């Protein structure tokens, strides 16, 4: 099966080179029919320059850039829409995941349509841990689904199903990955949740911190309410 690796990034100059190299060597070099899409959300540091410097070394690396700084959600969506292969693997660029864990998900692709990693031991600030717990509870209350880590940026999904899901999600959504996880549970596709390794952040910059994280959480709550009120139940997505 062919696979697209989608990696959004913003101000990751300290680690982006090592991150791209690690995932390229672990996945792209081992799967012939594959592509690596990195979407730069108008980084203000040297992230984009580093990415451009990697083009010659990695022929299947595709570098996209948002027209303006758009946030994590829109950046992920741009990568999803650009993906051309049968499956899409999405991971963030901050080196908080173990590239070898990709195979834990990939080996399940013949039995499941959506394989979602969950951070069994998560090394993030308390504020992010609380936000994840709140989201987990809201998913249960609003949609009747229990998802361990619905926003985890370590996931594989069939491209044809992903495209159908994106048609049901607002283009402005700040957390499309949460909604994709909800849809996967609600629409009856085959879902697996797999524990993956999570590391402490290896770079200094954090794109969502303090009041920005609170703002992000409130925006996500408003979107979940609107998502709940949409005609979600009238749309069937089969395998």
**What average pLDDT is seen over the chain?**
90
Residue 225 has pLDDT above 90, yes or no: no
- Report yes or no on 133 lying in a domain: yes
Domain CATH for 11: 3.90.550.10
Number of domains, the chain: 1
Neighbours of 227 (CB within 10 A): 20
Give a yes or no: residue 109 inside a domain. Answer: yes
Which residues, in sequence order, are bridge partners of residue 156?
89, 115
* Rg from Cα positions in the chain: 17
**Strand, helix or coil for residue 157:** strand
Q: Is residue 239 part of a domain?
A: no
Rounded to the nearest 10°, the torsion over CA 84, 94, 116, 223 is: -90
* Residue 36 predicted with pLDDT over 70: yes
Contact between 165 and 80 under an 8 Å Cβ cutoff? The reply is no
Q: Which residues contact 30 (CB under 8 A, 6 or more apart)?
A: none
Is residue 238 included in any domain, yes or no? no
Residues 6+ apart with CB under 8 A from 138: 221, 224
For residue range 180-220, what is the model confidence (pLDDT) as tens digits? 999 999 988 999 999 999 999 876 555 555 556 667 667 77
Query: What percent of the chain has pLDDT above 70?
Result: 90
DSSP per position, 121-137: S--S-HHHHHHHHHHHH
Residue 38 resides in a domain: yes
Residue 127 forms part of a structural domain: yes
Reported confidence tier of residue 239, pLDDT bands at 50, 70, 90: very low
Determine, yes or no, domain membership for 201: yes
SS3 196: strand
Name the residue range of residue 159's domain. Answer: 3-233
* DSSP letters for 63-108: EEE-SS---HHHHHHHHHHH--SSEEEEE-SSS-B-GGGHHHHHTT
Q: Give 223's pLDDT tier (boundaries 50, 70, 90).
A: confident
Cα–Cα separations (whole angstroms), residue 56 to 31, 65, 66, 184: 19, 18, 22, 38
Q: Which two tokens stand for residue 53?
A: 């410097």
Residue 121's φ and ψ, nearest 5 degrees, are -125, 100
- Residue 190 in any domain: the answer is yes
CA–CA dist 152, 238 (Å, integer)? 23
Q: Is the pLDDT of residue 224 over 50?
A: yes
């Amino acid at each position: 099966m062919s696979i697209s690796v989608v990696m959004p990034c913003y101000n990751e100059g300290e680690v982006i080179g090592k991150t791209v190299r690690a995932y390229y060597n672990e996945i792209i070099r081992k799967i012939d029919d594959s592509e690596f899409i990195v979407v730069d959300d108008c980084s203000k540091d040297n992230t984009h320059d580093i990415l451009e410097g990697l083009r010659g070394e990695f022929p299947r690396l595709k570098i996209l850039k948002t027209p303006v700084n758009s946030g994590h959600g829109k950046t992920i969506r741009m990568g999803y829409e650009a993906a051309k292969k049968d499956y899409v693997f999405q991971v963030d660029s901050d080196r908080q995941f173990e590239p070898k864990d990709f195979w834990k998900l990939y080996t399940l692709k013949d039995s499941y349509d959506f394989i979602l990693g969950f951070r069994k031991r998560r090394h993030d600030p308390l504020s992010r841990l609380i936000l994840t717990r709140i989201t987990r509870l809201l998913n249960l209350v609003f949609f009747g689904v229990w998802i361990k880590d619905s926003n985890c940026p370590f996931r594989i999904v069939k491209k044809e199903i992903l495209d159908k899901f994106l048609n049901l999600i607002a283009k402005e959504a700040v957390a499309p990955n949460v909604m994709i996880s909800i849809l996967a549970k609600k629409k009856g596709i085959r879902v697996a949740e797999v524990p993956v390794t999570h590391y402490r952040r290896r770079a200094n910059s954090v794109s969502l911190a303090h009041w920005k994280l609170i703002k992000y959480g409130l925006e996500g709550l408003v979107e979940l309410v609107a998502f709940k009120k949409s005609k979600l139940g009238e749309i069937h997505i089969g395998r």
